[in-house]
């Protein structure tokens, strides 16, 4: 019985978070919406932030699973016309959890989520791009550009391009992110 109640609490919190800042949502609101007591809520969570922390943990766990094989591949050897299957897995996971990502990345969401999501992108993808393409010159600038570009690409896709499939997005992503580095001469990439 605990799992369905926790799921309902998470769903209700996210539903309210669509129109109201996470900082303004109260336990009373969730309890009323679900027709449960405050003590039932507190039996499962310490507060609203604990609910959202669990939601985020589930998202990051799914992203970690989607990227778990990333280290096996050399990103500088990708073919620009073929979608990278790990990228497709990542975008499929995001697409399956579209509403949650949209809420958390919105103005009403916890702004710390965007930072944690950006750090995840840096640690799982961008650092690998920097390493595989042996980028040394302007590394910090390129890293910042890639992280913010990826976050913005996902936000734009989720909010304004629902007709774009995860496979299509992966093709766009691959050409945008890896294409310029594959055309960079080794001397340019290694300059310090």
CATH number (2.40.170, 1.20.120, 3.40.50, 1.10.10) of 2-44 reads: 1.10.10
Q: Identify the residue whose tokens are 């969570």.
A: 45
Banded model confidence at residue 189, pLDDT cuts 50, 70, 90: very low
Q: What is the pTM (predicted TM-score) of this model?
A: 0.86
Residue 60 above 90 pLDDT? yes
Q: With H, G, I as helix, E, B as strand and everything else as coil, classify residue 14.
A: helix
Tokens found for residue 147 = 């992280």
Helices (H) and strands (E) in the chain, counts: 12, 0
What pLDDT, on a 0 to 100 scale, did the predictor assign at position 190? 41
| Nearest residue to 33 via CA among 17, 53, 44, 46 | 17
Banded model confidence at residue 183, pLDDT cuts 50, 70, 90: low
Residue 1 above 70 pLDDT? no
Cα 18 to Cα 103: distance, rounded to the nearest angstrom: 6
Alpha carbon of residue 40 to chain centroid: 31
Give residues with Cβ within 8 angstroms of 129, minimum separation 6: 75, 135, 146, 177, 178, 181
Cα 147 to Cα 136: distance, rounded to the nearest angstrom: 17
Residue range 71-125, pLDDT digits in tens: 887 777 767 676 688 889 999 999 999 999 999 999 999 889 999 999 999 999 8
Domain boundaries, the chain: 2-44, 57-190
Banded model confidence at residue 42, pLDDT cuts 50, 70, 90: very high
């Amino acid at each position: 019985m605990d799992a369905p109640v926790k799921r309902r609490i998470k769903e209700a919190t996210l539903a309210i978070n669509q129109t109201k800042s996470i900082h303004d949502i109260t336990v009373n609101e969730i309890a009323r919406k679900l027709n449960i007591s405050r003590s039932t809520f507190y039996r499962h969570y310490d507060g609203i932030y604990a609910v959202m922390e669990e939601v985020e943990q589930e998202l990051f766990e799914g992203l970690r699973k989607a990227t778990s094989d990333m280290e096996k591949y050399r990103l500088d050897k990708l073919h620009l016309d073929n979608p990278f299957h790990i990228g497709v897995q990542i975008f499929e996971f995001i697409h399956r959890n579209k509403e949650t990502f949209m809420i958390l990345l919105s103005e009403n969401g916890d702004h710390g989520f965007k930072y944690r999501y950006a750090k995840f992108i840096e640690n799982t993808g961008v650092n690998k791009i920097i390493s595989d393409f042996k980028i040394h010159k302007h590394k910090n600038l390129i890293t910042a550009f890639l992280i913010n570009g990826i976050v913005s690409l996902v936000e734009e896709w989720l909010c304004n391009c629902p007709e774009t499939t995860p496979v299509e997005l992966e093709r766009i992503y691959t050409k945008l992110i890896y294409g310029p580095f594959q055309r960079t001469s080794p001397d340019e990439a290694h300059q310090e």
